[in-house]
Amino acid sequence: MKIPVEKTVNDPVMQSLIDQNRYADAAECLFELQLKSWKLMKTNYDALKDAQIKSFWYDGFKLSVQFNPGRIKSTTAFVDKNAIANRPCFLCNKNLPKEQKGILIKDKYILLCNPYPILPLHFTIAKLDHEPQAISEYFSDFLELSKMLSDKYSLIYNGPACGASAPDHLHFQAGTRNFIPIENDIHQIKNEYGKVICEDEANSITFMNDGLRRIIFIESTDQLLIENSLSKVVEVYGKITGSKTEPMMNLLCSFNNESGWSLIIFLRSKHRPELFFKNDPDKILISPAAIDMGGVIITPREEDFKKIDEKLLQKIVDEVSINPNIFESLINLFKQS
Ligand SMILES: [Zn+2]
């Protein structure tokens, strides 16, 4: 499959990077070109550089809060079936802004610059066909994409019911590597809170509850082993939560040549915390997805940014993560299966 010609960029430098399979560099090249030709994007990335941030240190890890007004649409998006069915899909090629261009990857995805960024370089990788967000069938693509882009970026997947803003159109995100705090903290979290459930030379699976989040961390040098591990996670997690569809999770993945893939899976109880649905002044507009769970919590409203403190943040993250008792049962069931 090809991307429509009006969505391609005719740039010899970028093309030569693609021809050399240097997709991380090609993506950066696209980013620079789009900054020059797309005013909205330039404005939003410039604003991000000055975004206010505050950080809280917990036992072994950090969470930051980013005041990011540009994310208001995404944070408050209606993601119920009716609302989705009644809006034009913003990831289908025909509906993309005219300035937005992309790079074809693996003959079935288009890599696009995200015009409403959280990360310093932030991309969306959308499947060319309009089909529902679900990872199982595309997990091998997700791993391959994370390898292809690993020089500079980490890969992100948000489940359809816990953070994907287009649950009807399969997509991933890619963004600046090691910007999300958990990417730097994960080994410390593993040491302090980890229960290693299986471990051999090529693959290990660790369950951890850091007091706020319930996480499964898979490290693997073998693609087939990590695919099998995730299938097992989805199966057991789905069983214990009684999910008829994909159980709620956010994925954050990176790759390097020595240690292979690092896959962080956040297990979720719900998409939005109770405070999201309150009226002002109690309301807090936070709508956690993978990046938030990884430690960059987005508040599009300044009043929420000011209000949030260490305790409130802890309460929210804990609330949207699966219940610790269910997590313990999951560990036991996983051991037995
Ligand atoms: Zn679509």
What pLDDT is attached to residue 78?
79
Higher pLDDT: 2 or 315? It is: 315
Q: Determine the Cα–Cα distance for residues 99 and 42; give it in Å rounded to an integer.
A: 12
What pLDDT is attached to residue 96?
96
What value does the mean pLDDT take over residues 120-128? Answer: 98
pLDDT bin (cut points 50, 70, 90) of residue 80 is confident
Q: Ligand 1: distance of its center to the CA of 262 in Å?
A: 29
Tell me: pLDDT of 81 over 90.
no
Give the least confident one: 75-89, 192-206, 225-239, 259-273. Answer: 75-89
pLDDT tens string 261-293: 999 999 999 999 999 999 999 999 999 999 999
Please provide the distance, in angstroms rounded to a whole number, between the alpha carbons at the two ends of the chain: 40
Tell me: pLDDT of 77 over 90.
no
Tell me: pLDDT of 224 over 90.
yes
What pLDDT is attached to residue 79?
78
Q: Ligand 1: distance of its center to the CA of 84 in Å?
A: 10
Whole-number percent of the chain with pLDDT over 90: 90
Q: Ligand 1: distance of its center to the CA of 205 in Å?
A: 34
Whole-number percent of the chain with pLDDT over 70: 100
Give the DSSP per-residue string, 276-335: GGSPTTT-------HHHHTTEEEESSHHHHHH--HHHHHHHHHHHBPPHHHHHHHHHHHH
pLDDT bin (cut points 50, 70, 90) of residue 24 is very high
Q: Ligand 1: distance of its center to the CA of 258 in Å?
A: 37
Tell me: pLDDT of 337 over 90.
no
Q: Ligand 1: distance of its center to the CA of 94 in Å?
A: 9
Q: Ligand 1: distance of its center to the CA of 275 in Å?
A: 30
What value does the mean pLDDT take over residues 313-318? Answer: 98
Q: Ligand 1: distance of its center to the CA of 111 in Å?
A: 14
Tell me: pLDDT of 1 over 90.
no
What value does the mean pLDDT take over residues 62-71? Answer: 94
Q: Ligand 1: distance of its center to the CA of 175 in Å?
A: 21
What pLDDT is attached to residue 84?
86
Partners of 299 in the β-ladder:
67
pLDDT bin (cut points 50, 70, 90) of residue 171 is very high
What pLDDT is attached to residue 70?
87
What pLDDT is attached to residue 73?
84
In three-state secondary structure terms, 55 is strand
Q: Ligand 1: distance of its center to the CA of 65 in Å?
A: 30
pLDDT bin (cut points 50, 70, 90) of residue 254 is very high
Q: Ligand 1: distance of its center to the CA of 124 in Å?
A: 13
The encoded tokens of residue 200 equal 């051999």
Q: Determine the Cα–Cα distance for residues 199 and 183; give it in Å rounded to an integer.
A: 20
Q: Ligand 1: distance of its center to the CA of 209 in Å?
A: 36
Indicate the average pLDDT of the chain.
95
Phi and psi, residue 76, nearest 5°: -105, 10
What is the bridge-based pairing of β-strands 296-299 and 61-67?
parallel
Q: Ligand 1: distance of its center to the CA of 195 in Å?
A: 40
Q: Ligand 1: distance of its center to the CA of 88 in Å?
A: 8
Q: Ligand 1: distance of its center to the CA of 241 in Å?
A: 29
Ligand 1 is an ion; residues with CB less than 5 A from it: 89, 91-92, 130, 169
Give the least confident one: 70-74, 142-146, 292-296, 306-310. Answer: 70-74
Q: Ligand 1: distance of its center to the CA of 126 in Å?
A: 9
* C-beta atoms surrounding 193 within 10 Å: 18
Q: Rg for the chain (alpha carbons), in Å?
A: 19
